[in-house]
Amino acid sequence: MQTSMDSLREESRASAASLHTSLTEVAQRITSMEEGLNGQDNRLDSMEHIQATLTKENRDLKEKVSHLENYMRRRNIRIMGIKENMEGRKPTEFITNLLVKLFGEDVFQTPLPVARAHGSYTFP
Please say if the pLDDT value at position 90 is more than 80: yes
Q: Note the pLDDT of residue 41.
A: 95
What is the mean pLDDT of the segment spanning 6-33? Answer: 89
46 and 91 both lie in a single domain:
no
Domain range for residue 84?
76-124
Same domain, residue pair 67 and 80? no
Q: Are residues 91 and 122 in the same domain?
A: yes
pLDDT value of position 50: 98
Q: Do 100 and 70 fall within a single domain?
A: no
Residues 44, 84 within the same domain: no
- Looking at the structure, tell me whether residues 62 and 87 fall in a common domain: no
The reply to whether 62 and 109 lie within a common domain is: no
pTM of the complete model: 0.45
In the chain, the percentage of residues whose pLDDT exceeds 70 is 94
pLDDT averaged over every residue in the chain: 86
Q: Structural domain tally of the chain?
A: 2
Q: Are both 56 and 4 inside the same structural domain?
A: yes
Rounded Cα distance between 109 and 98, Å, is: 16
Out of 74, 91, 114, a domain closes at 74
Domain match, 50 and 104 both: no
Indicate the range of 24-33, 61-70, 71-80, 86-95 predicted with least confidence.
71-80
Distance (Å, whole) CA 55 – CA 58: 5
Whether residue 10 is found in the same domain as residue 33: yes
Rounded to whole angstroms, how far apart are CA atoms 48 and 32?
A: 24
Which of residues 112 and 51 earns the better pLDDT score? 51
Q: Does 112 lie in the same domain as 102?
A: yes
Environment class of residue 98 by beta-carbon count within 10 Å: exposed (0-12), middle (13-18) or buried (19+)? middle
